[in-house]
Amino acid sequence: MIANPAIEQMSREDMSELQLKKLQKRIEWAMEKSAFYYRKFTDAGISSKDIKSLEDIAKLPFTTLDDLQSVSIYNLLTLPLSAVLRISRLGYNNSFIKMYTNGDLAYQIEMMTRVLVAQGLNSAAVAGLLGEASDSRLMDVQYALENMGVTVVLLGNNPENIRELMTTCHVDVLISDFKQVMQLVVMLQASNISADDLFLPKIICMEEGLQNPNHIYIEQRLQAEAAMVYNSPALGCAGIIFPCQEGEGFHIQEDYFYPEVVEYGTDRVITEPHKAGELVLTPLAAEAMPIFRYRTGQVVMRLDEPCPCGRTLTRLANPTEYAGVVWQAMP
């Protein structure tokens, strides 16, 4: 199932043209509105006029985790607070306060809709959302599900509520992050509730990394298939990278995030496929807090072969295909 064939099956030429237009617009916006990027681009002698092709993105300086943690969020914010629709704190190990406009939320919900459709959800499904309502990512999932007509069970994070709702309602798919799911496993074990009592076939985990070997443990304990959906707290949303429905790796939502792969410890962009490197992402639609060339620290390997699922979005290999590579390219 494909939610948006016009985008998800777009030709490479049309996608590149769309990406370039969005990139130029974001650079102009950031230069005018973001104190952080005005200084960063000015110091580098860069303006939107210097970006005449997608390859010219290499002229822009990288943004690192240290950069974002060393600056006030108001130096990143491009709008007054009166124009901000939502504020949320995301992440466990490296947390960030993220702000969103109505436009930001709209594209994030669109991305999540594509993810959920790719995972087989439709109006006949029942989805359980596990976690705090203050998690902006989970709110995007809820809105996407409800727009699709999916029945949503709000599990929250209270053990009594979770136990009652999980054993009373037939949940087809559980959606949460890895930490919350692990806590659920512990809670069920303490309550002597077995996986057979849940009849839970699928779990969608919003992950801050692209590889988590504990997925196998979750699948075994809950007797459910676990799918990983990549999100970065620094980038502020989930659904950036999602599993191919045919199991042939992962797809990047590249109409909203321009991907690059660079060599470890260098700035050289890797253009050839089947070579592992560090993933660099540039949001192409972010309004409130745009970020450019963010070094995620995640190791990926790009595949150029056509995907059997029919999507033309950039595809990444399953991590098991390059298991000999260190997972994190950066500390």
Q: Binning pLDDT at 50, 70 and 90, where does residue 324 land?
A: low
Q: Picking from 26-35, 128-137, 239-248, which range would have the lowest pLDDT averaged per residue?
A: 128-137
pLDDT digits (tens, 9 = 90+) for 33-69: 999 999 999 999 988 889 999 999 999 999 999 999 9
In a domain, 331, yes or no: no
In a domain, 292, yes or no: yes
Torsion angle, CA of 52/55/60/61, rounded to 10 degrees? 180
Q: Please give the residue that has the higher pLDDT: either 256 or 48.
A: 256
CA-closest candidate to residue 288, choices 92, 16, 11, 26: 26
Q: Picking from 7-11, 61-65, 316-320, which range would have the lowest pLDDT averaged per residue?
A: 316-320
In a domain, 238, yes or no: yes
173 DSSP β-pair partners: 127, 202
Q: Picking from 1-5, 85-89, 230-234, which range would have the lowest pLDDT averaged per residue?
A: 230-234
pTM of the prediction?
A: 0.92
* % of the chain exceeding 70 in pLDDT: 97
CA-based R_g, the chain, Å = 20
Listed in sequence order, the residues at least 6 apart from 206 whose beta carbon sits closer than 8 Å to its beta carbon are: 137, 138, 141, 175, 176, 177, 178, 229, 231, 238
Q: Please give the residue that has the higher pLDDT: either 123 or 328.
A: 123
Q: What is the mean pLDDT of the chain?
A: 90
In a domain, 298, yes or no: yes
Q: Binning pLDDT at 50, 70 and 90, where does residue 194 land?
A: confident
269 DSSP β-pair partners: 262
**Residue 314 backbone phi and psi in degrees, to 5:** -50, 135
Angle at 173 between CA 168 and CA 175, to 5 degrees: 105
Listed in sequence order, the residues at least 6 apart from 161 whose beta carbon sits closer than 8 Å to its beta carbon are: 155
Residue 326 has pLDDT above 90, yes or no: no
Reported as type and span, the H/E element at residue 180 is helix 178-190
Residue 325 has a pLDDT of 54
Task: Report the domain count for the chain.
Answer: 1
Q: Binning pLDDT at 50, 70 and 90, where does residue 328 land?
A: very low
Q: Picking from 118-122, 178-182, 291-295, which range would have the lowest pLDDT averaged per residue?
A: 178-182
In a domain, 167, yes or no: yes
Listed in sequence order, the residues at least 6 apart from 175 whose beta carbon sits closer than 8 Å to its beta carbon are: 127, 128, 129, 130, 138, 141, 203, 204, 206
Listed in sequence order, the residues at least 6 apart from 196 whose beta carbon sits closer than 8 Å to its beta carbon are: 223
Q: Please give the residue that has the higher pLDDT: either 186 or 324.
A: 186
pLDDT digits (tens, 9 = 90+) for 279-313: 999 999 999 999 999 999 999 999 999 999 999 99
Residue 81 has pLDDT above 90, yes or no: yes
Residue 329 has pLDDT above 70, yes or no: no
Q: Binning pLDDT at 50, 70 and 90, where does residue 71 land?
A: very high
In a domain, 330, yes or no: no
| Segments forming the whole domain that contains residue 111 | 5-322
CATH for 289: 3.40.50.12780
SS3 56: helix
CA distance 9 to 20: 18
In a domain, 328, yes or no: no
